[in-house]
Amino acid sequence: MALPEAKKLKLVLFAAVFIVAIGLPFILRDPYYLGFVNVFIMYSILSLGLNLILGYTGLLSLGHAAFFGLGGYTTAILMKNHGLPFVPSLVISALIALFFGFLVGIPTRKVKGDYFCLLTIIFGEIFRLVVQSWIGFTGGAMGIVGIPIPKIFGWTIRTEADFYFLGLGLLCFTYFTLAILVKSKFGRAFVAIREDELAASVMGVNAPVYKILAFGIGCLYAGLAGSYLAVYQTVVTPSNFRLEESCFMIIAVIVGGMGNLGATFSGVFLMTLATEVFRPIAEYRMLIIGLIMVIVLLFRPQGLFGASAFKD
Amino acid sequence: MPLLETTELSKYFGGVVALESISLSIEKGEILGMIGPNGSGKTTFINVLSGIYRPEKGEVKFKKRDVTGFPPHVITREGISRTFQNLRVFPNISVLQNILTGLHCRIDNSLFGIFFSPFSSMKREKQAEHKSLEILEMVNLAKTKNELAKNLPYGEQRLLEICRALASEPDLLLLDEPCAGMNPVEIDTLATFLKKLKSAGITIFIIEHNMRFVMSIAERIVVLNAGKKFKEGLPAEIQNDREVQEIYLGEEEEI
């Protein structure tokens, strides 16, 4: 059976990506570069989740870092204080982020535009302040240090390469579940809400419920990424989950292309690269990142790869 | 047997009376037209029927069931679908995706189903896609299925919006000024299309300002004035009614 040309190309591309992904830690021997890749993977998971909320459903959430933090702290507390293994901690972290996603989504379901944005900023700040002040539970500004080394069914995750494969697994899970979701009737309903909420509800979409659903599911992946961060850094502090982190993810989604999963990677890559390259100039690097965003949006308002976002 | 029946339906916006005790029935299989001067409450009436507004008084019965005050997505599932006066297609997604969104409540996939029984879910999606193409075929839009909706000419976008409403398999189709902004050729296409739908057994309720169009296509006409039902009758009767002419053109003054 002869495959159509486009499908063949896709298959070849997919195989190439697969081989490179598996072989990367054997080529990239330097832990510095592999560490960079791991950070890229973590932000990819976060931004893919955010793309569902922002790019597909059209809800500008500035509190994504809080859900990231919820995942991180849940894993840290469960593993360090309660001695739970990594896998159940990971699952519980994701579920806690999902639960809080619903909790924030329910009261904000009828709030639109700027007001939604404000409420999510407030949630993000509340999270950070609670974590900073509840010293007995979260360790305050010092955070939680000495999170144990994770093990999955006897596989001890210790080196950069180990973390790379763990991250890759989580990233594949994130990407493929989201890809299935956005191609289904649920994904179409999310896009319909973004395009025109009233028309969507008249077409049979239960708009408030779907908005809560999109928000919660997007946050679930933030919980996964948080859990990954906790075991990777072995430390979580409130400063890991500031408003700047949320902005970083939003910029990555917008620069990559809203409403397109694959495009998210390009945005995250550009952003993590810029952060690394301009690290010596410290605070001023946000200035340059802002400039990059302005330039990208001037020449490609739909994002780097946003053009064919909704065409099949 | 009436498909839809409203009794004493009233809607107020603060002190403004938008609809006052409207009682009318839409018979199964007919095309019912509604006319009236600007601000007479026609669009409000459709908004109440489709669940966007909740009426202050009165009730709406659809297929002998009370559906008063149901939210829009439930009304759609029950079998009432609508279009808007000011075009509301989803602009940034493809024509096919627009229609598929209309099929939302007819695709039986659950959130768990799409992950845990992907094959039967995919089969249902394929069937839905097939059905969408059939609907597009009816108005010759199948060739533009991958085009973004906003890139279609205006008349085709109007047709697309009707197709999207049709995709939800309605028994009753509510059209709010479908001809607005269309050229005469497009209006003819629309008329033929609506007649085809009627013969397929779909009941149509249509608000329209284009008199020639509505008189030629509707079997009965209801006239609304200042939120009240003013007249009801056959197109020919309405056309020659002095009072109807007066509310449109003003009273004739004695010289």
Q: Mean per-residue pLDDT for A256-262?
A: 87
Chain A nearest-CA residue for B102:
A203
b/e A204-220 (16+ beta carbons within 10 angstroms → b): bbbbbebbbbbbbbbbb
Report the distance separating Cα A129 and Cα B253, nearest Å: 75
> What's the pLDDT at A154?
82
What per-residue string of b and e applies to A269-298 under the rule 16 or more CB within 10 Å gives b?
Answer: bbbbebbeebeeeeeebbeebeebbeebee
Is a pLDDT exceeding 80 seen at residue B93?
yes
Assigned domain for A181 exists: yes
Domain count, chain B: 1
Q: Is residue A266 part of a domain?
A: no
Domain-embedded: residue A178: yes
Residue A29 CB contacts under 8 Å (≥ 6 apart), including other chains: none
Half-sphere exposure of A218 (CA within 13 A, CB side): 36
Higher-pLDDT residue of B12 and A284 is B12
What percentage of chain A carries pLDDT values higher than 90? 59
Note whether residue B108 is domain-resident: no
A24-46 pLDDT, tens digit per residue, is 888 888 888 899 999 999 999 99
- How far lies A168's CA from each of A41, A165, A211, A227, A250, in Å? 7, 5, 29, 14, 22
The CATH number of whichever domain residue B39 belongs to comes to: 3.40.50.300
Amino acid at residue number A109: R
pLDDT at A150 over 60: yes
B147 inside domain: no
Q: Measured between alpha carbons, how far is A248 from A51 in angstroms, rounded to an integer?
A: 13
Give the pLDDT score at A308. 45
Pairing relation of β-strands B203-207 and B31-35? parallel
What local confidence, expressed as pLDDT, does residue B39 receive?
A: 86
A246 token code pair? 């949320």
| pLDDT at residue number B242 | 86
What is the structure's pLDDT at A21? Answer: 86
Q: Give the C-alpha separation, B221 to B229, whole Å.
A: 11
Phi and psi for B4 in degrees, rounded to 5?
-135, 140
Residue A311 confidence class, pLDDT cut points 50, 70, 90: very low
- Which H/E stretch holds residue A209? helix A207-233
Nearest residue to B93 (alpha-carbon basis) of A217, A308, A184? A308
Please report whether residue A16 resides in a domain. no
The question of ipTM being above 0.85 is answered as: yes
Segment A102-128, tens digit of pLDDT: 999 999 988 888 899 999 999 999 999
Task: Give domain status of residue B13, yes or no.
Answer: yes
Q: What is the pLDDT of residue A3?
A: 64
Confidence of residue A312 (pLDDT cuts 50, 70, 90): very low
pLDDT digits 0-9 by tens, B115-142: 888 889 999 999 999 999 999 998 888 8
Q: What is the pLDDT of residues B161-190, one digit of tens each?
A: 999 999 999 999 999 999 888 888 889 989
From B71, B94, B105, residue closest to A312, measured CB to CB? B94
The DSSP-derived string for chain B is -EEEEEEEEEEEETTEEEEEEEEEEEETT-EEEEE--TTSSHHHHHHHHTTSS--SEEEEEETTEE-TT--HHHHHHHTEEE--SS----TTSBHHHHHHHHTGGG----TTHHHHSHHHHHHHHHHHHHHHHHHHHHTT-GGGTTSBGGGS-HHHHHHHHHHHHHHT--SEEEEE-TTTT--HHHHHHHHHHHHHHHHTT-EEEEE-S-HHHHHHH-SEEEEEETTEEEEEE-HHHHHT-HHHHHHHH-PPPP-
Q: Name the minimum distance, in Å, from the CA of A215 to any CA of chain B.
A: 15
Q: Does the residue B206 lie in any domain?
A: yes
The verdict on a CB contact (< 8 Å) between A202 and B107 is no
For residue A211, is pLDDT > 60? Answer: yes
Question: Which is higher by pLDDT, A221 or A293?
Answer: A221
Asked if A243 and A65 count as a contact pair (C-beta separation under 8 A), the reply is yes
User: Which pLDDT score, from 0 to 100, does residue B207 have?
Assistant: 93
B248: pLDDT strictly greater than 90: no
pLDDT of residue A153: 86
Name the minimum distance, in Å, from the CA of B158 to any CA of chain A.
14
Q: Does A195 touch chain B (CB under 8 A)?
A: yes
pLDDT score of A83 more than 70? yes
Mutation site, B47, B95, B101, B115, interface A, largest A CB count within 10 A: B101
Question: What are the start-end ranges of the E strands in A54-199?
Answer: 144-145, 151-152, 155-156
pLDDT of residue A125: 93
User: What global pTM score does this model have?
Assistant: 0.90
- Residue A296 reports pLDDT greater than 80: yes
Number of domains in chain A: 1
| Residues of chain A numbered 202-231 and touching chain B (CB < 8 Å) | 202-207, 213
Domain that holds residue B240: 2-91+155-249
pLDDT of residue A29: 80
SS3 category, A300? coil
User: Does B83 fall in a domain?
Assistant: yes
Give yes or no for a contact between A40 and A176, defined as CB atoms under 8 angstroms apart: no
* Interior angle at CA B169, CA B173 and CA B222, nearest 5: 10
Is A191 an 8 Å CB contact of chain B? yes
Whether A259 maps to a domain, the answer reads no
Tell whether B81 lies on the interface with A, counting CB pairs under 8 A.
Answer: yes
Length of chain A, in residues: 312
Token pair, residue B122, equals 């995919």
pLDDT at A310 over 60: no
For A309, the closest chain B residue by CA position comes to: B93
* Chain B: closest CA distance from residue A75 (Å): 26
Residue A304 lies inside a defined structural domain of this protein: no
Containing structural domain, residue A51? 31-241
Which residue among A177, A206, A207 sits closest to B115, beta carbon to beta carbon? A177
CA dihedral B151, B152, B158, B159 (to 10 degrees): -140
In a domain, A224, yes or no: yes
* B55 contacts: CB under 8 Å, gap ≥ 6: B9, B10, B11, B19, B48, B68, B69
Assess if residue B198 is contained within a domain.
yes
- The 10s digit of each residue's pLDDT in B32-86 is 999 988 888 899 999 999 999 999 999 999 998 999 989 999 999 999 999 999 8
Residue B254: band (very low, low, confident or very high) from pLDDT cuts 50, 70, 90 = low
* Among chain A residues, CA nearest to B167: A203
Domain assignment of residue B45, yes or no: yes
Q: Is the pLDDT of residue B159 over 70?
A: yes
- pLDDT of A309 strictly over 60: no
Does residue B103 fall inside a structural domain? Answer: no
Residue A23 pLDDT: 85
Average pLDDT, chain B: 90
Cβ of B100 and A188 within 8 Å?
yes
Look at residue B252 in the predicted model and tell me its pLDDT: 63
A284 assigned to some structural domain:
no
pLDDT class of A75 with cuts at 50, 70, 90: very high
Which chain A residue's Cα is nearest to B166?
A203
